Amino acid sequence: MTIAIGTRFTGGVIVCADSKVVASDGATTDQSKVSLSLTATKRIFGIADAAEDGNAAKMLAGEIMNAVCDSQSPYKLAPDVTSVMASWYNSYGVTQPPQLQFILGAVVIGHEGGNVYLCEPPATVLNTIGPVAIGRGARAVEPLLSVLTGVGGSPFALKPTLLRLAYLMYRAKKDEGSACGGNTHAIVISVKGGFAFIEHEEMKKAEEIAADIDTLLRDAYQKIMGAEKPEIQRKFVDELSKNYLLLAERGRGLEFPSLGLLKQPLWRTHNYVGPK
């Protein structure tokens, strides 16, 4: 079923998803579940899907993107999205449609912030206040989504948000490995008009740091509950502090070269639909 997450950062929105696709017979393939659309009216949309039927999801995602791009109101997208989803849902008649979910990120260039919508046929279109996760992997990360927001639900800067997303994607792939896995594809959309598909190799490096962070946290709570002698605990604290600082330095030193594209507002002349 996948894992997809949508969240705001201080300059726009991010939508990301894994690339593992599991067929009904258990066979797995690898493909992108995110796409991007741009309009002449200075709006940029990113969408990710989680679905029982990957082909149906791609088709409906395309129709949703067409609907929001043609919408007359940049801030009232729900009626247009609902109309498309309801039409698709009703086309199945008495047959139960496959379960589909979408995360839609929307930015109006030059306007502060951005919006993240949870969309589910036939008629759910929720403009979320905070981050949102969909798919099988959502149950692994929903208790942790608060790491993506600060005090009062305020978003973080871009790089810390990507690092936190990498941690959540790592956890989803680890805890729900039968449904989640492969590469992480992320779309960053800036209110200044730039956008970037983050290369999956860059997200992989961030997820490797996330794995080491998870190990550090596990070691800490195991020691805390170990009821060991104070001198053993103090020795562990010294080692913990050392490893903490090393991981913090790795996080600070990690770069996302793909973010350089945000400095180039390409929306006027390009129409990217997914990562390479």
Q: How many domains does the chain have?
A: 2
For the residues 250-273, what does the mean pLDDT come to?
A: 74
Residue type, 5: I
160 lies in the same domain as 38: yes
Q: Which two tokens stand for residue 145?
A: 């989504």
pLDDT digits (tens, 9 = 90+) for 194-234: 999 999 999 999 999 999 999 999 999 888 888 788 888 88
Amino acid at 96: Q
pLDDT over threshold 90, residue 55: no
- Do residues 227 and 179 both lie within one domain? no
- Select the more confidently predicted residue: 1 or 149: 149
Per-residue model confidence (pLDDT) at position 275: 45
96 inside domain: yes
Any domain includes 133: yes
pLDDT at 269: 38
Query: Residue 274 domain-assigned?
Result: no
pLDDT tens digits, 109-157: 988 889 999 999 999 999 998 999 999 999 999 999 999 998 878 899 9
Query: 127 and 144 share a domain?
Result: yes
- Within-domain flag for 276: no
Same domain, yes or no: 74 and 134: yes
Q: Is 98 contained in some domain?
A: yes
pLDDT score at 184: 97
Residues 226 and 125 in one domain: no
The C-alpha atoms of residue 62 and residue 275 are separated, in whole angstroms, by 16
22 and 79 part of one domain: yes
pLDDT band at 272 (very low <50, low <70, confident <90, very high): very low
8: CATH: 3.60.20.10
Residue 275: inside a domain, yes or no?
no
At 268, which amino acid appears?
R
Q: What is the per-residue pLDDT for 147?
A: 95
Q: Which one has a higher pLDDT value, 275 or 105?
A: 105
Q: Are residues 14 and 44 in the same domain?
A: yes
Residue 32 confidence (pLDDT) above 50: yes
The reply to whether 12 and 111 lie within a common domain is yes
Does 273 fall in a domain? no
Residue 271 binned pLDDT confidence (cut-offs 50, 70, 90): very low
Higher pLDDT, 224 or 104: 104
Record the pTM. Answer: 0.91
Tell whether 231 and 113 lie within a shared domain.
Answer: no
- The whole-number pLDDT of residue 197 equals 96
Please check whether residues 96 and 131 belong to one and the same domain. yes
For 156-197, the pLDDT digits (tens) are: 999 999 999 999 999 999 999 989 999 999 999 999 999 999
Q: 191: domain range?
A: 4-199+256-268
Q: Are residues 222 and 141 in the same domain?
A: no
What whole-number distance in Å separates Cα of residue 224 and Cα of residue 233? 8
Do 216 and 182 have their domain in common? no
Six-digit token string for 8: 């705001």
Q: How confident is the model at residue 25 (pLDDT cuts 50, 70, 90)?
A: low
Share of the chain above pLDDT 90, in %: 74
What does each C-alpha distance from 156 to 22, 146, 167, 188 come to in angstroms?
A: 33, 11, 15, 14
* Mean pLDDT computed over 90-95: 94
- SS3 readout for 162-215: HHHHHHHHHHHHHHCCCCCCCCEEEEEEECCCCEEEECHHHHHHHHHHHHHHHH
